[in-house]
Amino acid sequence: MQLFSAPSPQAEISPADFAGRWYFCDDGWLGTLTLALTDGPALTGTFASERFGEEYRVTARAAELPHAIELVIHDYNWLPEQRYAGRLMTRSRSAIAGSSLWQDTPFGFFATRASYPLGRYRPGVARGEDFVGSWTAYLDGELATVVLSFDPDSGTLHGSCTVGSDRFEVAGRPGGTVPHEVALTVRTGTDGEVAYLSGYLMSRPKNAVSGVLTVAGTRLGFIMIRYA
């Protein structure tokens, strides 16, 4: 079985695909990101933060990979610069997923063309149980359903990933460098490892994960959102 039905059309992506308006989720903090293409791979824009009620200057650059972008929000979040590394989902061109460092701690972020409600804030440090449930996943833009359970004795996650009519086995472990980190392996029973997902649970609402999906050596973006 193949995780994706067709090769990713990365070669067709240009810096202009990053331009426009995005709904931005930074570890659960929401805002609106607006980007315009300026010169070559460079973009500039603004970020309107709902948390702070202010607008901040943004600079960005499309990276060597056609679907990668580096974002900088200036004078934001008590930092001179907060930097974000993301990947445009090549199958939909409607979402960016990645991570950022704040005071040397990694956090997840994503940006989407449409807004997604993330539910109420749940306090406390992330635990293994926070990854349990049914998640709507966007794997490089391809829709999937991921269902996870947590075994407290082994500290591991187990479940399934369904893409179209294909069902894959999922296993992984929460935590890592930080409690809200997660690593998942998607595999079939006969073909072995299919893909790796490495990301961060939004540590505030605890019902979204974003990060990097690695398939056949290619690093892509993914988002998982839990509604139940």
pLDDT at 84: 97
Confidence (pLDDT) at 12:
81
Examine residue 67 and state whether it is found in any structural domain, yes or no: yes
Residue 66 falls within a domain, yes or no?
A: yes
Strand partners, 199: 182, 211
Of the residues 87, 112, 137, which one is the last residue of a structural domain? 112
142 with 91, same domain: the answer is: no
The reply to whether 5 falls in a domain is: no
25 with 109: CB under 8 angstroms?
A: yes
In a domain, 108, yes or no: yes
Residues 20, 104, single domain; the answer is yes
Q: Rounded to two decimals, what is the model's pTM?
A: 0.93
Asked whether residue 160 falls in the same domain as residue 187, the answer is yes
pLDDT at 194: 87
Q: What is the pLDDT of residue 10?
A: 58
Asked if residue 34 belongs to a domain, the reply is yes
CA distance 169 to 137: 15
85, 112, 139 — which closes off a domain?
112
**104 and 148 in a common domain:** no
DSSP readout, the chain? Answer: --SSSS---GGG--GGGG-EEEEEEETTEEEEEEEEEEETTEEEEEEEETTTTEEEEEEEEE-SSTTEEEEEEEEETTEEEEEEEEEE-TTTSSEEEEEEEETTEEEEEEEESS---------S---GGGG-EEEEEEETTEEEEEEEEEETTTTEEEEEEEETTEEEEEEEEE-SSSTTEEEEEEEETTTEEEEEEEEEE-TTT--EEEEEEEETTEEEEEEEEE--
Residue 7's pLDDT is 53
Q: What is the residue range of 154's domain? A: 128-226
Check residue 63 and give its pLDDT.
83
Q: What is the CATH number of the domain that holds 182?
A: 2.40.128.120
Q: 41 lies in a domain? A: yes
Are 104 and 33 contained in the same domain? yes
Residue 33 vs residues 45, 60, 74, 139: alpha-carbon distances, Å: 7, 11, 13, 22
Q: Domain tally for the chain?
A: 2
Each residue's pLDDT expressed in tens, for the chain with a length of 228 residues: 567 665 565 558 889 999 999 999 999 999 999 999 998 789 999 999 999 999 999 999 998 778 999 999 999 999 999 999 999 999 889 999 999 999 899 999 999 999 877 777 778 899 999 999 999 999 999 999 999 999 999 999 999 999 989 999 999 999 999 999 999 999 977 667 789 999 999 998 899 999 999 998 889 999 999 976
For residues 99 and 133, membership in a common domain is answered with: no
Residues 6+ apart with CB under 8 A from 52: none
Could you tell me if 143 and 57 lie in one domain? no
Pair 75, 44 in one domain: yes
In a domain, residue 190? The reply is yes
Same domain, 100 and 163: no
Of 112, 137, 156, the one marking the end of a domain is 112
**Cβ contact 187:193 at 8 Å:** yes
Are residues 28 and 80 located together in one domain of the fold? Answer: yes
Per-residue pLDDT, 5: 60
Q: Given this model, what pLDDT does residue 216 score?
A: 85
In this structure, is residue 8 part of a structural domain? no
Task: Say if residue 108 is in the same domain as residue 142.
Answer: no
pLDDT at 2: 65
